[in-house]
């Protein structure tokens, strides 16, 4: 994994708030912002996956052949 530096301008009030929270977590502001960005990126990826799954489900619900296929195959479970 490669990292790419970026520059972000924060107004004074926002910076103070974020620095306080970073200190409470015993990390620097850059690490704090990197963690926030990483968490948001994961949340966005999960949201895209859920939206894509929802679209597939909607298409299956509208298509009798697709519904029949899933009825035949069954619903996947977490059991191995």
pLDDT for residue 12 is more than 70: yes
Give 40-65 pLDDT, tens digit per residue.
999 999 999 999 999 988 998 899 88
Cα–Cα distance between 16 and 71 in angstroms, integer?
A: 56
* Domain map (residue ranges) of the chain: 12-73
- Sign of the CA dihedral with 28 first, then 31, 34, and 35 last: negative
pLDDT for residue 38 is more than 90: yes
Kindly state the average pLDDT of the residues 22-39.
Answer: 97
The better pLDDT of the pair 67, 22 is held by 22
């Amino acid at each position: 994994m490669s990292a790419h530096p970026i520059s972000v301008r924060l107004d004074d009030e926002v910076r103070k708030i974020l620095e306080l929270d970073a200190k409470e977590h015993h990390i620097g502001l850059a690490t704090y912002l990197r963690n926030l960005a990483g968490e948001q990126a994961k949340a966005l990826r999960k949201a895209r996956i859920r939206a894509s799954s929802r679209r597939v489900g909607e298409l299956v619900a509208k298509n009798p052949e697709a519904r029949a296929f899933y009825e035949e195959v069954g619903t996947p479970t977490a059991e191995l």
